[in-house]
Amino acid sequence: MTKKKKGDSSMSKTKGSSMQRKNIGGLGDYIVLKEEKEVIFYLENPYPTCLAIPKIMKERFPDDYKSIVTRDLDEFKKYRGQV
């Protein structure tokens, strides 16, 4: 039996566990729609995180791509299914 450290979640990744927590959203989790030249970010609470988006867009995508921020998780998942 191992001691549980303070702040550990019962949903943390455990070897052999079928239940793993998947973080959805944030600046590292985005969807690229190449035909539309759009990048969709899901941010539950966009401000101030959204202030970093212009820098990310400039570093990772061509100038003609635009960014879209959504707070609607279902909408984000809908786009994820299209990719």
pLDDT range class, residue 22, cuts 50, 70, 90: low
State the pLDDT at residue 26: 77
Structure tokens at 82: 């299209």
Q: What is the pLDDT of residues 55-80, one digit of tens each?
A: 999 999 999 999 999 999 999 999 88
More confident residue, 13 or 33: 33
Mean pLDDT to the nearest integer, 3-30 = 52
The answer to whether residue 41 is domain-embedded is yes
- Domain range holding 48? 30-82
Q: What ranges make up the beta strands (E) of the chain?
A: 30-33, 38-42, 66-70
Domain count, the chain: 1
Kindly state whether residue 48 falls inside one of the protein's structural domains: yes
What integer pLDDT is reported at residue 25 of this predicted model?
72
The model's confidence at residue 14, banded by pLDDT at 50, 70 and 90, is: very low
**CA 33 to chain CA centroid, nearest Å:** 15
Q: Is 20 part of a structural domain of the chain?
A: no
Q: 67 near 49, Cβ under 8 Å? A: no
